[in-house]
Structure 1
């Protein structure tokens, strides 16, 4: 079996790694540089709280792999299980948290529900006006800038071939499988895996599988280094879109959310929009008032694919034998990444997956 994986983000590199680890011959092809799409723009959040309930088995599989990441990859990608604190500031959000907590329990996921006194005792200085919070102690974060190159290098160590700066691929279905022509050469394989992120629908459409996906850019920023006092990842339960932050070990506070993502034209680039900065920072300071006088040193955005029903595309093609998809993770795919790669490798190598993924099939959009 020969497999071509298109896309060098976390989904593509982890899929290539777990395939190569199974002894499958793999070529990973990335149009630009490894890890510079949605992955590098990510906040780096590894959270299960608030996730679609059907995704919890995949999230659990992925969390187990995050805990093995240094052993698997041979390097530190800064995974830290610092816990995920999600603050609540109004009754609607508290109701949403309690509904999720009750619904998630049968799936094997329990979250701690905290009252104000407990928040201030355990996390002094965070959310002083919060009326409640949830806490998931086993969740945390990792460094988005390190993880895709680490998976790509580890895949190469297991025999995968990695091709970056390959440009937009030309794909042709053949009797034997697929031919892919790129700036780095022409390649053939029995299996093609579409992990192209926001560009995934263009590949799927070539095989009569249109996907309603919009490309949007998150609004991210980072502060100057500060004394390290914020241990957990901090978020917000909010129906209008909550902000979130985390402090890295070097002291900088990475933040995002609080404002809508910016639409990105097809073939264009995502940009940071300063128009929403005041609104974003107001929510950020509500999470941590001590940040009010902090200097912001950089803003950025990136390219993320958002499917119309807010669920990603994952699994086998409904039209073409040998074609598989894993794209469109709607801004919440970072936590799932290793689990996606392991599950896709299992599905491709064995024809089945122990983790249920049928609800993410691309066939849900077929006529």
Structure 2
């Protein structure tokens, strides 16, 4: 099972119409709905399960500029400004704290990569600092093993994934949002080429526009409209500990293991160096687009052929208005954590920081990260489907970047001046596969 998520009550009255229907109660969908109601737009948010039940509650909780693709920097800068005032904006706790983020460098080559990113990011106004080995050990007391240096962004921070999206959703409801949970979308219908209505398991909702923010489900939702999105899924395993007093303030990545302090006094422990790439029909379909990224990441991305692939062959089909859909059969994507990865993370952490020798694991889980070939999201209107916008494919970056991503999606739907340049996030970029490249910095 996934982590416990703060509860949000659905709106009692089922709506029959709205200006905008947002599909997906993850943090991006919720942030979009919040931005829309703040603009005075009549908005409905639909979630087949409950708010933040999938990757939005299962991620690390980092809110980072550090190491981001340069194309995302304007969006994360806007997001960080929003995170700073999020508790006040929502009138409740989302867990955001500014304690910095540090990436360790274990050799000169990695340190040089950090330096190149720092120089490029400085042109965007990002204040990151290179640390030598001595500075790293002073910032992270008790750090053991060979360390060449590190990259530190003091203004980065962390928030609580099990609290943030629910807090945003509750605030949006208070501003007029109609939230329907346990309400799967079966189909999105058009009239005269334009979006006209959304058919759910509980009835139809007439609307002018729809935002597809379905995370790992977005490709299937778009396929129902005849739109191709080259999206795959990566399984990431995470654990949390019971409260443990350790003198490490910043979020810290040591390569094979990463950690952040939680509000409850425990720690979230994860790793970016051993994720599972689920082998599915789409993995074969989009192999050519993803191959350049896989060649770079193959040491930390392990192909995995398991139940997920078989499930998708047999059961995953776009929904139809009159039939029970896959979205109703699978309310929450809840993959099993990869036990060898969890064991190795704990062992690596205890070697690197002996202060964690007495840690007690309280819970572990896994999530499916929705990823795109260039590892940056799509936040874009959809050509040939007027009234449709998609916000998905955040490739493990979605939690920290969500506030401004939601604002950008809302701006594009309403036709307002966008909060940042949306050009890098256009869906149509995948028409030119030779131009689609991930930027690998850390």
Matched, 1:313 2:378: yes
1:295-318: per-residue Cα shift (whole Å, max 9, x none)? 222210122211122221111112
1:259 corresponds in structure 2 to 274
Matched, 1:41 2:53: no
- Partners of 1:309 and 1:118 lie apart in 2 by 34
Greater displacement, 81-90 / 117-126: 117-126
1:53-112: per-residue Cα shift (whole Å, max 9, x none)? 010000000000000101111101110001111111122211210111111111111201
Match of 2:400 among 317, 331, 335: 335
| 1:192 CA drift (Å) | 0.5
- Partners of 2:40 and 2:146 lie apart in 1 by 54
Aligned length: 363
Which secondary structure does the structure 1 equivalent of 2:182 belong to?
Answer: coil
- Partners of 2:89 and 2:430 lie apart in 1 by 36
| 1:325 CA drift (Å) | 0.6
| 1:132 CA drift (Å) | 0.4
* Change beyond 3 A, Cα 1:259–1:172: same
- For 1:202-351, what aligned pairs fall within 5 Å after superposition? 202-236=220-254, 238=255, 242-257=256-271, 258-261=273-276, 263=278, 264-265=308-309, 266=312, 269-285=334-350, 287-351=352-416
Greater displacement, 266-275 / 138-147: 266-275
* Change beyond 3 A, Cα 1:294–1:228: closer
| 1:153 CA drift (Å) | 1.1
1:236-259: per-residue Cα shift (whole Å, max 9, x none)? 3x5xxx421012233211111131
Matched, 1:64 2:64: no
Unmatched 5+ residue regions in structure 1?
none
1:135 corresponds in structure 2 to 152
Greater displacement, 123-132 / 25-34: 123-132
Unmatched 5+ residue regions in structure 2?
1-17, 279-307, 317-332, 433-442
Greater displacement, 48-57 / 160-169: 160-169
| 1:129 CA drift (Å) | 3.1
TM-score, scaled to structure 1: 0.93
- Partners of 1:151 and 1:127 lie apart in 2 by 40
Which secondary structure does the structure 1 equivalent of 2:229 belong to?
Answer: coil
1:31 corresponds in structure 2 to 48
Query: CA contact under 8 A between 1:27 and 1:162: conserved in structure 2?
Result: yes
Q: CA RMSD in A?
A: 1.9
* Change beyond 3 A, Cα 1:121–1:366: closer
- For 1:157-196, what aligned pairs fall within 5 Å after superposition? 157-175=174-192, 177-196=195-214
- For 1:348-359, what aligned pairs fall within 5 Å after superposition? 348-359=413-424
2:19 corresponds in structure 1 to 2
1:363 corresponds in structure 2 to 428
2:12 corresponds in structure 1 to none
TM-score, scaled to structure 2: 0.78
| 1:323 CA drift (Å) | 0.6
- Partners of 1:243 and 1:209 lie apart in 2 by 38
* Change beyond 3 A, Cα 1:65–1:96: same
